[in-house]
Structure 1
Amino acid sequence: MANKALALAIKLNYDKGIAEAYRTIGIGQYYLNMSEESINSYFSALTYFLKIGDERGEARVDNNIGNLYKDDDYDRSLDYFNKALAIGNRLSDKSIIASAYLNLGNFYSKKQGFNEALKYYNDSKSLFSDLKDSVNIIQSSRNIGVVYFKLNQLDLAEKLLTDANKRSKERDLNESVASIDLTLAELYIKTNQLDKAENTVAEGLIYSNIIKDKKLIRDFIYTDYELEYKRKNYLKSLGYLKEVYLRDSVDGKTNFTSQLNLFLIKNKQEAEQRINELNVQRIQYENVRFWGAATAAGLFLVVIALLVNNVKRKSNTNAQLTQLNSEVSRQKDNLDRVNHHLEEIIDERTKDLQIKNKKLSEYSSYLSHQIRGPIATLKGLMNLEKEGLVDKKECINMMDKCVSEIDEKIIEMSDMMHDSKSIL
């Protein structure tokens, strides 16, 4: 099915579909113990996921590759699991984080770090419960049961494993059933439940043959050896041990060749991966350069547009200033003419006032002279009358005459003051 998906994705030029098809093919090859083919498929998937920048796909492949290496290269296996976990944490993706925890639990279980493994298994089970992922909840429970078996907490281990086995059968998880049966068989042998152990081994061999897992088949044969040895059926147990030895001899040669090829493929694929990563970085760099140049060009055009707009505004401003200057010049000329006319009027009025002031001064002198005569006469008459040198009646007549003369002069002066023409 995955090969059909791959062919269709290639036909459609659908990179994500190609990547996921390769990953699924790799998983199938892994379960069939085809390590060389599996690693090739995984790296092909990784190439396409990197090409399209799909970090979630990349993390899933990292988990798959970590599982492939966990039996042969612990350090490389741990490196890939941690890469997957780092991506999961960066993306806050519970599914990726939970899978990485499950795989890290498997890693530490292989390394006999059971307490560390138990921590990761419990964390993964909690996350899978949040995600309602029933299949992986079963896997986590199964692995927790195995750890408790290794820690010799047999009652708790049996309870967890039996429950996980039941739920695995309900969902046709054949690989899980076979793996659980193997641990349960060992547990029953350890607790002297030998009939249960025999039935469990028989069931486990059936499921192992269904999934064609040579390693599990070999492990069940070895468990048969342990069971018969426990029963003290030494001849029968020796037969099982011989079969295990033959399988190990054949599988050992095959595994050595496979591991050697896997090492060569691993180096080749990692070199190709580095080249692909460099190509991706080069493409990203070219994209950055392109968009940088495009942005610079855009900014340059904006600057040019602003400059042109600024020139236009300056031109309009200059035209307005020129027009305003012309208007100011015209107004200045008008003011100059008005000022000149005002100066002429002021000069004319000043001269006129000077003439009038002169005439007024002359007239004032004239009137003063005319009035002073009768007043002087009056003063003289008054002195004469005091000394008794003039007749009183005659003095009064003469004074009356002087007063009348003064009155006439004042009236004359008033008339002349109100007559501008006489002043002019």
Structure 2
Amino acid sequence: MKFFPLLALLLLINLSAFSQSSLESPNDSVEVNKLNKLGYDIRLTDAEQAIVYSERAMEMAKKINYINGIAEAYRVKGIGKYYHDQSESAIENYLDALRYFKQSNNQEGIAKVYNNIGNLYLDVDFDKSLEYLRQSQQIAEKLQIRDLLAGIYGNLGNIHQRKKNYNLALANYEKSVELFTKLNNPTGLTQILQNIGVAYFSLNKFEKAESYLLQAVKKAKENDLNNTIARSNITLASLYIAKNKFAEAKNSILEGITYSKIVKDPRLEYDYLYISYKLEHKQKNYQKALDYLQQVYTQDSIVYANNVSTKVGLREKQYRQEQKQRESELTIARQRYTQILFWASTIVALLAFGVIFLLIRNVKRSTRDNKKLTTLNEEVSRQKEDLDRINHNLEEIIDVRTKDLKIKNKKLSEYSSHLSHQIRGPIATLKGLMILEKDMLIEQEEFVEQLNKCIHNIDDKIIHINKTLNDDSIPSLVKAD
């Protein structure tokens, strides 16, 4: 009995070790997922609001220790920071998301973050971007995450377009369009239509480029995708300038600038300064063109410096986050080792307790069994004695029955012989009567009378013999006639 307190102590330790995991409430986790989805869906319309939603989701997820909710909140916040041209903050959030997704071994989440990081590096380091996109693609293909694959193909197309490999870019865009169409995803499809328009413009296929870009603008307005409208109008303005459609170019620039201010993306504002310069220069408004060019030069220096700073900053942030990730993985490994050690100790203790319990139970059972065996042996001995007595009685009964059978056999033999002797006389008389009757030497009445006497005589003899045979007091059937 002294082992029961030990078992109770082990169970209490086990319960306390997992008490934190029970903090998560299903309703709270659903609310976290809802906020993260709202932030992600609004990323192209209002990046600031996307960040607000992600921060609310993160705060709630941390309170309930909802690891996947925390990871997704970091990812959505990173996307919001990216569309606000805050690459260093974005990479920091992405790497935090990656750390939490790895902690919960959420492969789909890991693949999404790799895709986001690849998209972030697209502006500063093609090779690094391609490295992350390939990692994301490998997981997405293994898990058959079609919406993620569609986005990856789009980003791969963007890399090939920046490298001026337009045919490879279009091939990836076509795969992306096919998947987004099957998934009925208007947001992804609109972005890819814009990218295809840019690729055809780079190939000087203006008609196709205009068709795709107008489709992109139309779908973007239907789905409130302000960022996509602003980006599409940049290429449309360039296309109209190349075709000397200055009024259409001016309209595209004005519309694009309006949407650029809504999304608050300084990169788009810079792009529109450069497009405005090209428009004025093409119209030979050299003074206005010069003013725009000066602004472009100023902005270009800032953008160049920002790009260099961003590239260095991204690498530095990534290095720090990777260090943080390694430390986190080491902590997790220690925790897992401690947990494994605890469980191993618990299992060994339980097994030892079980073995001791089984040994005690077996000893008690053996004692009971021995007592039962002793009782059974005594019972068997008594039954053997009873059996011997029964066998002896049976032998006596058999002897009696054998003697009785011999007597009856003798009587039966005597009966047979006596019957033969007793019946033969009347039968002989009957045979004589029959001869007399046949020769007509006896009267009919006398014949009947004698016949009747013979029959009664036979019947009496048979009755007498039966009585004698069944009467044990009469030793023999042989009697005088």
The TM-score normalised by the length of structure 1 is: 0.70
Q: Which amino acid aligns with 1:47?
A: R
- Counterpart of 1:172 (choices 224, 229, 243) is 224
- Counterpart of 1:146 (choices 194, 198, 202) is 198
For residues 125 and 283 of structure 1, the distance between their equivalents in structure 2, rounded to whole angstroms, comes to 45
For residues 312 and 126 of structure 1, the distance between their equivalents in structure 2, rounded to whole angstroms, comes to 75
- Counterpart of 1:259 (choices 311, 321, 331) is 311
- Counterpart of 1:10 (choices 62, 69, 73) is 62
Q: Which moved more, 1:248-257 or 1:178-187?
A: 248-257
Q: Is the 8 A contact 2:124 2:307 kept in 1?
A: no
For residues 331 and 12 of structure 1, the distance between their equivalents in structure 2, rounded to whole angstroms, comes to 75
For residues 98 and 298 of structure 1, the distance between their equivalents in structure 2, rounded to whole angstroms, comes to 52
Give 2:12's aligned residue. none
For residues 250 and 381 of structure 2, the distance between their equivalents in structure 1, rounded to whole angstroms, comes to 121
For residues 312 and 219 of structure 2, the distance between their equivalents in structure 1, rounded to whole angstroms, comes to 39
Q: Is the 8 A contact 2:153 2:173 kept in 1?
A: yes
Give 1:54's aligned residue. 106
Report the CA distance shift for 1:14/1:239 in structure 2 as closer, same or farther (over 3 A): same
- Counterpart of 2:235 (choices 158, 173, 183) is 183
Determine helix, strand or coil for the equivalent of 1:152. Answer: coil
Give 1:233's aligned residue. 285
Per the TM alignment, residue 196 of structure 1 is displaced from its structure 2 partner at its CA by: 1.6
Determine helix, strand or coil for the equivalent of 1:53. Answer: coil
Give 2:465's aligned residue. none
Deviations 1:271-324 (A, max 9, x none): 112222333344445445555555566666666676667667766776666666
For residues 59 and 389 of structure 2, the distance between their equivalents in structure 1, rounded to whole angstroms, comes to 100
Give 1:30's aligned residue. 82
Q: Is the 8 A contact 1:5 1:17 kept in 2?
A: yes
Report the CA distance shift for 1:11/1:321 in structure 2 as closer, same or farther (over 3 A): closer
Per the TM alignment, residue 28 of structure 1 is displaced from its structure 2 partner at its CA by: 1.7
Give 1:134's aligned residue. 186
Determine helix, strand or coil for the equivalent of 1:132. Answer: coil
- Identical positions, percent: 44
- Counterpart of 1:198 (choices 250, 256, 267) is 250
Q: Is the 8 A contact 2:230 2:257 kept in 1?
A: yes
Q: Is the 8 A contact 2:191 2:228 kept in 1?
A: yes
Give 2:264's aligned residue. 212
Q: Which amino acid aligns with 2:324?
A: E
Give 2:119's aligned residue. 67
Q: Which amino acid aligns with 1:20?
A: E
Which runs of 5 or more structure 1 residues have no equivalent in the other structure?
340-424
For residues 68 and 95 of structure 1, the distance between their equivalents in structure 2, rounded to whole angstroms, comes to 19
For residues 350 and 138 of structure 2, the distance between their equivalents in structure 1, rounded to whole angstroms, comes to 38
Q: Is the 8 A contact 1:50 1:280 kept in 2?
A: no
Deviations 1:60-109 (A, max 9, x none): 22222211111112222222222222232233222222222222222222
For residues 209 and 183 of structure 1, the distance between their equivalents in structure 2, rounded to whole angstroms, comes to 17
Give 2:471's aligned residue. none
Give 2:35's aligned residue. none
Answering whether residue 328 of structure 2 is matched by residue 273 of structure 1, we say no
Q: Which moved more, 1:69-78 or 1:304-313?
A: 304-313
Per the TM alignment, residue 193 of structure 1 is displaced from its structure 2 partner at its CA by: 2.3
For residues 280 and 109 of structure 1, the distance between their equivalents in structure 2, rounded to whole angstroms, comes to 41
Give 2:297's aligned residue. 245
Q: Is the 8 A contact 1:56 1:87 kept in 2?
A: yes
Determine helix, strand or coil for the equivalent of 2:123. Answer: coil
For residues 63 and 376 of structure 2, the distance between their equivalents in structure 1, rounded to whole angstroms, comes to 75
For residues 235 and 157 of structure 1, the distance between their equivalents in structure 2, rounded to whole angstroms, comes to 31
Report the CA distance shift for 1:303/1:75 in structure 2 as closer, same or farther (over 3 A): farther
CA root-mean-square deviation: 3.4
Q: Which moved more, 1:302-311 or 1:193-202?
A: 302-311
- Counterpart of 2:150 (choices 98, 108, 121) is 98
Per the TM alignment, residue 176 of structure 1 is displaced from its structure 2 partner at its CA by: 0.2
Report the CA distance shift for 1:136/1:315 in structure 2 as closer, same or farther (over 3 A): same
Report the CA distance shift for 1:306/1:147 in structure 2 as closer, same or farther (over 3 A): farther
Q: Which amino acid aligns with 1:33?
A: D
Per the TM alignment, residue 252 of structure 1 is displaced from its structure 2 partner at its CA by: 2.6
Q: Which amino acid aligns with 2:214?
A: T
Determine helix, strand or coil for the equivalent of 2:204. Answer: coil
Report the CA distance shift for 1:91/1:279 in structure 2 as closer, same or farther (over 3 A): farther
For residues 125 and 300 of structure 1, the distance between their equivalents in structure 2, rounded to whole angstroms, comes to 63
For residues 261 and 164 of structure 2, the distance between their equivalents in structure 1, rounded to whole angstroms, comes to 28
Deviations 1:328-352 (A, max 9, x none): 777889999999xxxxxxxxxxxxx
Report the CA distance shift for 1:293/1:112 in structure 2 as closer, same or farther (over 3 A): farther
For residues 333 and 172 of structure 1, the distance between their equivalents in structure 2, rounded to whole angstroms, comes to 105
Q: Which moved more, 1:7-16 or 1:120-129?
A: 7-16
Within-5 A mapping of 1:346-385: none
Q: Is the 8 A contact 1:105 1:116 kept in 2?
A: yes
For residues 339 and 160 of structure 2, the distance between their equivalents in structure 1, rounded to whole angstroms, comes to 42
Q: Is the 8 A contact 2:186 2:219 kept in 1?
A: no
Determine helix, strand or coil for the equivalent of 2:124. Answer: coil
Per the TM alignment, residue 326 of structure 1 is displaced from its structure 2 partner at its CA by: 6.0
Answering whether residue 172 of structure 2 is matched by residue 120 of structure 1, we say yes
Per the TM alignment, residue 208 of structure 1 is displaced from its structure 2 partner at its CA by: 1.6
Q: Which moved more, 1:98-107 or 1:290-299?
A: 290-299
For residues 82 and 153 of structure 1, the distance between their equivalents in structure 2, rounded to whole angstroms, comes to 30
Per the TM alignment, residue 195 of structure 1 is displaced from its structure 2 partner at its CA by: 2.4
Q: Is the 8 A contact 1:55 1:87 kept in 2?
A: yes
Give 1:83's aligned residue. 135
Report the CA distance shift for 1:335/1:8 in structure 2 as closer, same or farther (over 3 A): closer
Q: Which amino acid aligns with 1:147?
A: A
Q: Is the 8 A contact 2:137 2:149 kept in 1?
A: yes
Report the CA distance shift for 1:68/1:306 in structure 2 as closer, same or farther (over 3 A): same
Q: Which amino acid aligns with 1:212?
A: K
Give 1:111's aligned residue. 163
For residues 12 and 325 of structure 1, the distance between their equivalents in structure 2, rounded to whole angstroms, comes to 69
